[in-house]
Amino acid sequence: MARTIHCTYLKREAEGLDRVPYPGPLGQRIHANISKEAWQLWLRHQTMLINEYRLSPIEPKARQFLVEEMEKFLFGGGSQAPEGYVNPGS
C-alpha cells in the first residue's frame, strides 16, 4: 500500500517516496515531507541545472551546488533556472 504524506512542495496530500532518496538528515527530511511527484520535478530541474551549467556530479563543488539547489527547490521557495534559459517544452 502506498504511503501518503502532506507534501510541503505541492502543499497537498500525495504519495510519498518508497525509500530515502538521499543520505543523511536531508534525505530523511525529503522522505518525510516530499512526494514522488515533487521528487520527479526536482530530478528534471536537477538535470536541467547539470546540462545548462555543464556540471560534473563527481566534482565536490558541483555536488555542493546541487545539494543547495535541491534544498531551495524542495523547501525554500524554488531554485532558479540559469539566466536566459528557455524551456524546450514551452
Predicted confidence (pLDDT) per residue in 20-36, tens digit = 999 999 999 999 999 99
pLDDT higher for 81 or 51?
51
List domains and CATH numbers for the chain. 4-75 (1.10.3880.10)
CA distance linking residue 17 with residue 54, whole number of Å: 28
Give the torsion sign (CA, 78, 20, 63, 58): negative
What pLDDT digit, counting tens, does each position of 40-77 carry? 999 999 999 999 999 998 999 999 999 999 999 999 87
Say whether pLDDT at 1 is over 70.
no
For residues 9-28, average pLDDT: 96
> Which amino acid type is present at position 68?
E
Say whether pLDDT at 2 is over 90.
no
